[in-house]
Amino acid sequence: MKKTVVVIFIGLVCIVAFLVYKNLSYEFNFDKGIKDTELLSPSGDYTAQVYFHYYGGAAGGVNVYVNIISHTENNVESTVYASDAKSNFRIEWTDNNKLYVKNVSGNEDRSIILTIGKDIYDERGKACSKYKISKKYSCYSKKSKNIPIIN
């Protein structure tokens, strides 16, 4: 009986440790796919890179990721935008540290203005639920309210 309790206790501790690890160590970084657009910020401090990732073959779709390379921080690359790609997609800098991502198709609009180093957008919201991300960034998702967009 004592051995069974010990085994169950150790199993529960392992499961909790795994869940804590997955939540605290999550990185919002994507660099796979086809690199498309590169756009230098007006100040030259950042470069925005667009990646398209095709999935599912003939019946699949396309995901789009926008990464920022910070030239003031040893060219560190980090993802700031992840979404399903819509038919009308483009990026443009509105300021030295503000990136406008337009991602629209019909009634579906995933457009947003992101302040680099402060905001990220993850359509599925997976990143927004992670402790490490939520402490560092304002995280927006498809379900978010008050998304900073341009009309």
Q: What is the pLDDT of residues 52-94, one digit of tens each?
A: 998 887 778 899 999 999 999 899 889 999 999 999 999 999 9
Beta bridge partners of 53: 63
Share of the chain above pLDDT 70, in %: 89
Amino acid identity at 77? E
Residue 147 has pLDDT above 90, yes or no: no
Neighbours of 44 (CB within 10 A): 10
* Per-residue three-class SS string for the chain: CHHHHHHHHHHHHHHHHHHHHHHHCCCCCCCCCEEEEEEECCCCCEEEEEEEEEECHHHCEEEEEEEEEECCCCCEEEEEEEEECCCEEEEEEEECCEEEEEEEECCEECCEEEECCCEEEECCCCHHHCHHHHHHCEEECCCCCCCCCCC
Residue 144 has pLDDT above 70, yes or no: no
Query: Residue 106 and residue 104: Cα distance in Å, rounded?
Result: 7
- Which region holds residue 10: left if phi is over 0, alpha if psi is between -120 and 50, else beta? alpha
**Average of per-residue pLDDT across 18-29:** 67
Residue 116 has pLDDT above 90, yes or no: yes
pTM of the prediction?
0.79
Query: Residue 151 and residue 111: Cα distance in Å, rounded?
Result: 9
* Confidence band for 3, pLDDT divided at 50, 70 and 90: confident
User: For residue 16, what are its two tokens?
Assistant: 């909790």
25-29, 124-128, 147-151: segment of lowest average pLDDT: 147-151
